[in-house]
Amino acid sequence: MSPLKLSPPRWRILRLLGTNHASATRAGLRATYIRDLCAATPADLAALADLGYLTGRLHGTSDAPGAEIVLAIAADRNLRIHSTPAGKSTAAILEAAYRALNHLHVYGAYGGALPVAVLHHDAGVGLDTLTQLQRHGHVNTTPGGFLSWRSGGHTHLYGPPFNAGPYDSDPCATCGTPPTIGARIWADGYRDAYCDRCARHHAGSSPTSLVTLTRLGTGYVGRPTPQELS
């Protein structure tokens, strides 16, 4: 099963263990701490142990960590959770996916939308991550050429461009040049128009397809951990 199909609380658990990988590997993290911080249940811990992502042991014992103890007593307050190698590698996958979703949520215009080039540059998200997120319904992709840049504290989305007609006479908002018939114009939702040269200069990237956060994807970007707030 793809880790991207895990529920939001299970994403948060694995990402938390990945952030605290030293403690999660050696001493372990308290199960109650993990559940409270990640809005998770004992069943979430048990499910991840069953998948081989984490193990557990009782605090104060010398027993080696094992998945079976999590399955048996996932609600015990003395349980300490440890990350497995598979859990750590999965946490890295989920961290990249979360970074993409959160960047769309925070900076995306008009409901969480950004051009692929912007998301790749600003959030460091690879195309493979975006492909997996789309495959599992966290984002949608709209083909075409789109640009965006931040102005006045807001992200403005431009595209697809259109060719000026005889009545498209508004000058470029940057250089003030009126468009000639057939010239390429970029406009946002408020119809603020820019010539092709100025739009590309402001965006600092080439036009790319548009990525939009879905309702499912929105459910994965709430309740940050203290590490994310610091």
Rounded to an integer, what is the distance from CA 105 to the centroid of its chain?
A: 8
The stretch 137-157 carries a mean pLDDT of: 92
Q: Which of 7-21, 22-36, 124-138, 153-167 has the lowest mean pLDDT?
A: 22-36
The stretch 204-214 carries a mean pLDDT of: 95
Helix pair angle (42-50, 31-38), 10° resolution? 110
What burial class does residue 205 get, using C-beta atoms within 10 Å of its C-beta: 0-12 exposed, 13-18 middle, 19+ buried? middle
Alpha carbon distances (Å) from 69 to 26, 48, 205: 17, 12, 52
Q: Are 88 and 16 in contact (CB under 8 A)?
A: no
The stretch 5-14 carries a mean pLDDT of: 95
Instruction: Give the tens place of pLDDT for each residue, 42-62.
Output: 999 999 999 999 999 887 677
Top-confidence residue, 227 or 103: 103
Q: What one-letter code names the amino acid at 203?
A: A
> Which has the closest alpha carbon to 202: 212, 194, 210?
194
pLDDT of residue 229: 34
